[in-house]
Amino acid sequence: MGWWIAGLAALLSVAGLLYWQLVLAEGAYLGRRMVALLYDGSARVYDRVKNFDPGYEQWFLGLPLARTLSTVPDPLVLDVATGTGRLPRTLFQQPGFHGRVVGLDFSRRMLTLAADATQPWANRLSLLWQDADRLPFPDATFDAVTCVEALEFFPHPERALREMVRVLRPGGTLVISNRIGRGAFFMPGRTFSPAKFEALLHALPLEMIKVQPWQEDYDLAWATRQGVPGPVGWRRLEEILRCPGCGGPLQRTGQALICPAEQRQYPIAADGVMELARSTKSRP
């Protein structure tokens, strides 16, 4: 009888561990590929499960961001972990926003849905299949960088946060969330107490930091990159995009991006997604 009870206890322990890792933590401790796999699998029901309120999104996210960027000519925004294009959609619906957005995510199926959902603004949105550990852009590139409800899924949240600030130009706006409450309890090391989160932001070259409640399980921080804003203007994606391997410039040739330094090419899929997460050797 003892062995049966021990076996049942072991089975329940394994089931509990799997539930924590795959459901509560959504694969965060199993590596970025597992997170992407889980989001690939739930991509088609993601928006329905989340049940985003379009009015709430526009009032508390799209509108204030559009107003912040209203004095910037042709603003360029990077949305890290863009998912199904949640932030681009609410931003493009703001009459005062006339810029462009680059959406980056490591779930390819989420990007497929993002490309479909943002068709009305396809000429103003570029989608990249790539992780956020090393953003493929030079320093001080974007007028705003956003990352909503995703920081806890990065293997190194603090490193990802530094990367986002690196590509933000002086005077640019950072919008980023931090999971709090009951959800944060199940993700130790990936989330931060409100005091720790603010301390992390203050340790970076940021100013005018404001943290406010966001949805039920998050705080949302708004901050400005320190420094004197330089001249800005319209920039083609080819001018700012960099090879994720060597950091060198990429050249567009047909339906691919070529890295001359590494002699590698990154495909551009039929739905327009630039697939930096996979590459092949280019022909000499």
Q: Does the reported pTM lie above 0.75?
A: yes
HSE on the CB side for 152, CA within 13 Å?
24
* Chain position carrying tokens 């009951």: 182
Alpha helix positions (H), 121-279: 157-166, 181-185, 194-202, 237-240
Q: What is the mean pLDDT of residues 173-198?
A: 88
Would you list the domain boundaries of the chain?
2-50, 54-225, 242-281
Position 14, amino acid:
V
- Cα separation, 135 vs 102, in Å, equals 12
* pLDDT value for 208: 95
Convert the pLDDT of each residue in 78-113 to its tens digit: 999 999 999 999 999 999 899 999 999 999 999 999
Q: What is the mean pLDDT of residues 13-37?
A: 69
Does the pLDDT at position 260 exceed 80?
yes
* Chain position carrying tokens 């049966």: 4
* pLDDT value for 231: 65
What CATH topology corresponds to 54-225? Answer: Rossmann fold (3.40.50)
DSSP annotation string for 32-83: HHHHHHHHHHHHHHHHHHHT--HHHHIIIIIHHHHHHTTTSSS-EEEEET-T
Identify which has the larger pLDDT, 232 or 265. Answer: 265
